[in-house]
A and B are shown apart, each in its own frame.
Chain A
């Protein structure tokens, strides 16, 4: 996950599904320049596919009417855009300040042991991916874990164990 320069081609063309297409067209009317659609467009791609492939970036450049390099620039700068498929269950553990003070490391160590991958890796069966991320804005209920975008607060190893059990 650290190499954010590589684009992956799937070999099949990309297009928005009808729902995303409609949302894209709604957003077109909201900005005075079409390049403002770069971040929202990348989000729509990721919502649809779980990640952003080379073909989708080219498609977005066409839809917006801008250079592919501008899409590439944004997609590689902003770390939440996944440039390759992630695990079915994507786990983010906050590693900053209050989560650090309140034992995020025990949770990371437990996950490493239990899933068998280090932060930044995807399990070989594609089921899990693990990341340590910067402050998630839930410091009052630290440590905090995000599972597929959903927040789980006041975590510890026991609660993490229970949460993992729900990942079937």
Chain B
């Protein structure tokens, strides 16, 4: 089932080194790139149907086309390598195993949007990964792929690695920009959107590592070759992370559109220890959970996820077996989002704290049915009342657990 478009060089020994990567196709698309007009590159990416692989799934080419024309300001590219959504562990494979694919993608993007300065925002915990990335960037500078004249062309490009320092919220694109500017990571109100007013008040494109990493394949082989994989509306492949109570957890590159349960069973070996399935988190911890009967009819694409009232998210699939205590799992999730709230908006800062207190009370056996109802009510009162979607990333899944596994909450309070 695996299709290796992005992970083609992952298994090559020393594939992260520029000489080995080059022998295996890295930077080969640059001649073609510089022979094209930037607008043509944008059209090719639009035609590929590539959607943002960070979680929101916004069409990448369309995002680029939002940049205002004729402005006398620099344009920035910020590559989002914060990868902090629980159950998401895909981008670091690119950083470590094929960083030159990312750098080549950055060159493609920057040429298309006429940007000369890129910041790669990498989460602080990725210590060795940041070092590996920096080493690859140094190699690219030495080889003339970055710097004053990219591959000998009259195009300057500088790439700087900017390390975060332990804040999940900085994966939110405007918090990420604040963090590069040296501030605490508190999201900005939108509009203005970053494409108009982003980093240092200048037009800025923020793309996920995997989105950028998909560009060399698309440009080399054409939009049609990319669209040959996946479904019509969700084309291409994705680096899926499968974890939790499953036999063979790991990162697998798969075309979009495959049946979720077939992937869990055939690719990931099924539920660990042959136990019964209780549920599946389809796209990172913030996506609503699927019951086994729902998972059975879900396919791994944006449309099917939406039909099942959940989200494709980051493609981080978590398998829950029959023994998982849903109430305790919910506590674990609320704990995470409460801890990571930036504190800017009252409904999130205070509301998630209240949710945590209530779920702890329920687990301690002091809860009542009113508390279960209050927890549900809080979800509705917090969601969409904040600057960013961090609070919704908590309330959306919690609501799904409350609605689909209400009996487990009731068992605690009876």
Binding site for B on A (CB under 8 A): 27, 30-33, 35-40, 42-43, 66, 70, 73-74, 77-81, 95-98, 100-102, 133-142, 146, 149-151
Contact = CB atoms under 8 A, between A and B. Distances in A.
Contacts of B83: 137
B55 to A, nearest CB: 14
Interface stretch (B8-16, B174-182, B217-225, B365-373): B174-182
Interface in B124-145: 124-128
B250 A74 contact: no
A106 B153 CA distance: 57
A122 B403 CA distance: 42
B254 interface: no
Contacts of A40: 162-163
B127 A149 contact: yes
5 contacts: A39-B165, A97-B244, A101-B329, A134-B86, A134-B336
Interface in B71-107: 74, 83-89, 92
B340 A134 contact: yes
Contacts of B184: 73-74, 77-78
B241 A38 contact: no
Contacts of B166: 78-81, 133
A137 B123 contact: yes
Contacts of A27: 160
B324 A101 contact: yes
A101 B318 contact: yes
B125 A33 contact: no
Nearest to B339: A134
B245 interface: yes
Contacts of B167: 77-79
B333 A97 contact: yes
A135 B241 CA distance: 14
B180 to A, nearest CB: 6
Contacts of B251: 140
Interface string B303-337: 00000000000001010100010000100110110
Contacts of A66: 182
Nearest to A27: B160
Interface string B153-174: 0000010101111111000000
B285 interface: yes
Contact of A98 (B86, B124, B185): B86
B191 to A, nearest CB: 23
Contacts of A77: 167, 184-185, 342
Interface in B258-299: 281, 285
B351 interface: no
B198 to A, nearest CB: 13
A128 B264 CA distance: 40
B316 A43 contact: no
A39 B241 contact: no
A97 B318 contact: yes
B128 A150 contact: yes
Contacts of A80: 124-125, 164-166
Given A39-B165, A79-B165, A98-B86, A30 B340 contact: no
Given A35-B181, A36-B181, A150-B128, A139 B86 contact: yes
Contact of B243 (A74, A134, A142): A142
A31 B182 CA distance: 11
A78 B243 contact: no
Given A137-B88, A140-B251, A150-B128, 4 more contacts: A35-B181, A38-B182, A101-B244, A140-B243
